[in-house]
A = this chain, B = another copy of it.
Amino acid sequence: MFIFLLLPLAEMVHRMEKAILFICDGLGDLPVKGRTPLEAARKKNIDRLAKEGINGMMSTLGEGIIPGSDTGHLQLLGYSPREFYPGRGPLEALGAGIDLEHGDVAFRCNFGSVDAKGKLLDRRAGRISTAEAAEIGKALDGMMVDGVLVIFRPTVEHRASVVFRGRGLCAAISDTDPHGEGEVLACKPKDGSPEARRTAEIVNKFMKIAHEKMSAHHLNLKRMKERKLPANVALLRGTGMFHKIPGLNERFGIAGTCIAGGALYKGVCRYVGMDAQNVKGATGTKDTDLDAKVNAAIAALKTKDFVLLHVKATDNFGHDGDFEGKRKMIEKIDAAVGKLMKWGGAYIVLTGDHSTPVLLKGHSADPVPICIWGKNVRTDDVKKFGERACAHGGLGHILGSDVMPVILGLLLKAKMYGS
């Protein structure tokens, strides 16, 4: 009898292992006057995490490869972008809450402004408001073009996701967004297949109908009367086809939730079979409500094995070249890490998806510090979390592809190879 009681208990203990992958976007940096933002920040909780945990440096996609936001996150979740990258369009569409179906072709879209001759006046339609864009977008959502359904979903300000759903579509087609000045481009097939030719034709028909509907929209007529630029063209880019792939649960036996402000991160997580929460106050900016995100992560871990907790602003400050902004954001993150440590119900893996050095104002291939903290992890001699200190860590120099296997080990979900 005793034995029978013990067995389910032992199993329960196994099932209770939890982990948080805490990604500070663009965290890594280069020294400015001898120190990186991470090294300059006062961050007693994160430093204690490093002291009590095991540390290292992580090259997300390999030495010298600059990760994008999409490819970096895919790799950290155990999905090699070489095998699984669907293009930005489908990830943004998933992040916008669209339930994609196998074979859908998705785009990122900007509301833009063109004159009567088709010359592009503005790629952002005079920075149209989210509310106005949502209203104009309704006129485009649900239209059928040659038997293909168009899903048009405005998101933030001038941005939208657009999905074409129907049989025999193909993503080997060009953008209609000129990505700069000039005329709106005609969509062209990129290969000789009849599918690419037909899809390009359908996109061009959509462009024409959308232009007509938008030009006639009462809000645009009102904007023009007010001498504002009309949102009268849909600029498409980031084309990709969605294929259903085996999710984290199917591949690794874990259930995960995404806590993020930015749509892209939710999209990546939904793509790999996690759910994505809309946390009130999680904005993907420096004003994001970190406390609300931490609370949401803790709540999610009551039923889930794994949370990806994403903070975007570190990357934004890197892009802006704002050292002090990045340093202060890290100090805000320190409070969030402290709260998670105090709660103590999960392993914490703290890292970034790539470096965004303030000196470069863009992503770089420099590896990112990583710390793993929790009861069954080795420690090392690292005392502070930073680019120089973590290079001495017990994890050594690892790759992004090592991260999910290590997390599976912590969750006791790693499988023995052999016997």
User: Which residues of A are in contact with B by a Cβ distance under 8 Å?
Assistant: 30-31, 34, 36, 57, 61-72, 74, 81, 85, 88, 238, 357, 359-360, 363-366, 376-381, 387-388, 391-399, 402, 404-406, 408-409, 412, 414-419
A399 nearest CB neighbor, chain B only: B63
A417 to chain B, nearest CB (A): 5
**Do the beta carbons of B392 and A81 come within 8 Å of each other?**
no
Determine how many copies of this chain the complex contains.
2
Bound together, the chains give a CA A379 to CA B366 distance in angstroms of: 12
Query: A394-B387, A396-B396 known; A66 and B380 CB under 8 Å?
Result: no
Kindly list 8 other residue pairs between chains A and B, CB separation below 8 angstroms, not including A64-B404, A391-B396: A64-B406, A64-B408, A65-B417, A66-B415, A66-B417, A360-B376, A380-B388, A396-B396
Tell me whether B365 and A419 are in contact (CB under 8 A): no
- Check if A63 sits within 8 Å of B376, measured CB to CB: no
Question: Are the C-beta atoms of B380 and A391 separated by less than 8 Å?
Answer: yes
Closest 10 CB pairs of A and B: A64-B405, A68-B418, A71-B418, A396-B397, A63-B402, A391-B394, A66-B416, A68-B419, A70-B418, A365-B409
Whether the pair B417, A68 counts as a contact (CB closer than 8 A) is yes
| Chain B residues whose C-beta falls within 8 Å of the C-beta of A398 in the assembled complex | 63, 397
Residues of B near A81 (CB, < 8 A) are: 417-418
A contact patch SS: loop
Q: Report Cα–Cα, A65/B392, bound state, in Å.
A: 23
Min CB distance A29 to B, Å, is 9
Question: How far, in whole Å, are A115 and B381 apart by their CA atoms in the complex?
Answer: 59
Contact of A64 among B70, B238, B365, B414 (CB under 8 A): B414
CB contacts (< 8 Å) of A415 on chain B: these are 66
Indicate which residue in B31, B72, B419 contacts A88 across the interface (CB closer than 8 Å).
Answer: B419
Contacts of A63 in B (CB 8 A): 398-399, 402, 405-406
Contact A67 B416 (CB under 8 A): yes
Across-interface contacts of A376 in B (CB, < 8 A): 30, 357, 359-360
**Chain B: minimal CB distance from A360 (Å):** 7
**Across the interface, which residues of B come within 8 angstroms of A68, CB to CB?**
416-419
Is A67 a contact partner of B388 (Cβ separation < 8 A)?
no
Q: In the assembled complex, which residues on chain B have CB atoms less than 8 Å from the CB atom of A418?
A: 67-72, 74, 81, 85, 88
Chain B nearest CB from A80 CB (Å) reads 11
Q: Given A388-B394, A402-B64, A406-B365, is A377 in contact with B416 using a C-beta cutoff of 8 Å?
A: no
Chain B nearest CB from A142 CB (Å) reads: 28
A391-B393 in contact given A64-B406, A71-B418, A85-B418 (Cβ < 8 Å): yes
A398's nearest neighbour on chain B, judged by CB, is B63
Contacts of A397 in B (CB 8 A): 395-398
Closest B residue, CB atoms, query A66: B416
Do A31 and B379 touch across chains, with their CB atoms under 8 A apart?
Answer: yes
For A61, what are the chain B residues with a Cβ–Cβ distance below 8 Å?
417
The smallest C-beta distance from A58 to any residue of chain B, in angstroms, reads 11
Identity of the chain B residue whose Cβ is nearest the Cβ of A397 in the assembled complex: B396
Q: Which of B30, B67, B392 makes the CB contact (< 8 A) with A392?
A: B392
Name, among A34, A85, A366, the residue most crowded by chain B CB atoms within 10 Å (CB to CB): A366
What are 11 residue pairs bridging A and B, where the CB atoms are less than 8 Å apart in the complex?
A30-B378, A63-B405, A64-B405, A66-B415, A66-B416, A67-B416, A88-B419, A365-B406, A391-B395, A392-B392, A397-B397
Q: Shortest beta-carbon distance, A53 to chain B, in Å?
A: 11
| Contact in complex: A65, B405 (CB < 8 Å) | yes
On whether the beta carbons of B405 and A378 are closer than 8 Å, the reply is no
* Structural contact, A405 and B365, CB atoms closer than 8 A: yes
A359 / chain B contacts, CB cutoff of 8 Å: 376
